[in-house]
Structure 1
Amino acid sequence: MELSKNEKFPSDIKMAPSEKEVESKEESSPRIPRQTKTSTARVLSHEDLERLSGDQALVSDFKHMKLEKEAQKNWDLFYKRNTTNFFKDRHWTTREFEELKACREFESQRLVLLEAGCGVGNCIFPLLEDDLRIFIYACDFSPRAVEFVKQNPLYCPERCCAFQCDLTKDDLRGNVPEGSVDVVTLIFVLSAIHPDKMKLALQNISRVLKPGGIVLFRDYGLYDHAMLRFKAGSKLGENFYVRQDGTRSYFFSKECLAELFEESGFQSVANDYVFRETVNKKEGLCVPRVFLQSKFTKPDQSQSS
């Protein structure tokens, strides 16, 4: 993020790379990682609770508005610095979300998927390689990320359509026919959107999703290790923080997420915390990660009536 000399965001121990690198390394592993699904939030130690309760100072309104105004630029700069080398391909999606394989009504049916927040294609290209009967719409906030998708040798306009989109204000129907999508993947995306605008993004997604279609969700959960590592001066709001590079992250409770989707017209199918321990052998640390992994469906009005 480009700031004047007098406008510096507080350091958060290089939160951006450490948080994202953990996710990147886990996703690249071909083996099934050790993880636990649960309906209850992580229980914090007394020390962690005191640390969180003591961090109530919020970033100034000026910096808050500046972050919102420059959100796209900050993600574009992230991809300029890291190109396609930061996140690993997400080969775990079909293992975690069986709907990517099983939601077809008949074997030869072409599955239409929207990857909302596609980044440089770490989710879509493994799916395109693995499933010849899939068509993917892929959009991202960052124009640079979309260009990386289009430059990938596996990108084929007959099987994939990538475009730049701000989910909170750009109507998806400009690129995706209304009610045409079977499955939407929303993976580590909603957390980067301002909480006040999350509902707008979900309503936008709903317009292109078929009745009976499903949203597959995975994102940062409440009390994830990354949330506890932010230093004072990084807090934007409740469970909402800014990283050193100006990108932002929200940490969801399952209750908050369910309410958000339900208010946007969806019904909950599954909504669980995923606890995972990541071992940093170099530093001798065991890092507790918390994600939310959920499924929400768009009601089929004809069936319900």
Structure 2
Amino acid sequence: MGSLTASLPNSHRGPIRTIEWEMLDKRKFYPYSMMSSFTVRCFLYPLTLVRTRLQVQHHNAIYSGTFDAFRKILQHEGVKGLYRGFWISCFQVVSGICYVSTYEGVRHILDKNGVTNPKIKSSVGGSCASLVGQTIIVPFDVISQHLMILGLVSKQGKSVSANPLAIKTEGRTKSQITWDVTRTIYYRDGFRGFYRGYLASLANYVPSSAAWWTFYQLYQEILTTLPPLLPHTGTQCVAAVMSGCTTSIITNPMDLVRTRVQVQRRSIPETIRFLWATERLRIFSKGLTARMTSSSIYSLAIILGYESVKKMSVLPAYKDEVRW
């Protein structure tokens, strides 16, 4: 659609539903994207932390569910407990820019080579974007997950052993603890320690990203055939939430494996065997509520920001045709 629309004179162009890469002013797009991504991360990071802790715990040894986890973290650790590892995870903003650039760039290349099916472009673009994004972010993900699980408290209010690196936390600042985690990982496993769970991340996030963008495109197409109850951006947000829920259900077991591999230092086959022996069919539901909640809210916030940023960054020649 992008190349065809761009080639037509203004008087013959119809409303633009999908803003393509060549329609964007990159000088506006990149800074707006970084601000949007950081804002979303600030508000929604606690959901990621809670999901990680639910996935790491054995059965329901610490938290009985998502809301119980929030309550206990606030009770025993305060608000700052919900933001353990936040600053190191902020490097994901850089990863996010690379992700978006890859996604849009691959879509653009496919379009130039005659691939016009939007679902195919979304699927391939999402896969490539996730491959690039995970290669950049996995080291920071490994560090932040170790930070997330520090300070776990049992149902009896006692500290529990969830510190596989044996990091000392008492009397230490956040920066000192972060440095200790980073240094210990390197001393134990070398540089490859920062890519622990990399294959598990790819196995989870590449198909997850491909599925998310495919379902997002599909749900948009379905919703646009219905009577228009919302503005176009509202329809995109609804499609994003539906896509987030669908993808979470499909990929939850692999996300559980990824988290356990990165934190508990087992191989992928060992982790799968251990999870099946201890959790059985709970692998399909463990942390799922937190993940669906997190994914739905993230999808809504990210797409609201992403699509709004694209519309604000569109080149002047296309502004009148953009649908808000």
Query: What TM-score does the superposition give when structure 2 sets the normalisation length?
Result: 0.26
User: Scaled by the length of structure 1, what TM-score is found?
Assistant: 0.27
Q: Which has the higher strand share?
A: 1
Q: Which has the higher contact order (CA 8 A, sep 6+)?
A: 2
As a proportion of its length, which structure holds more helix?
Answer: 2
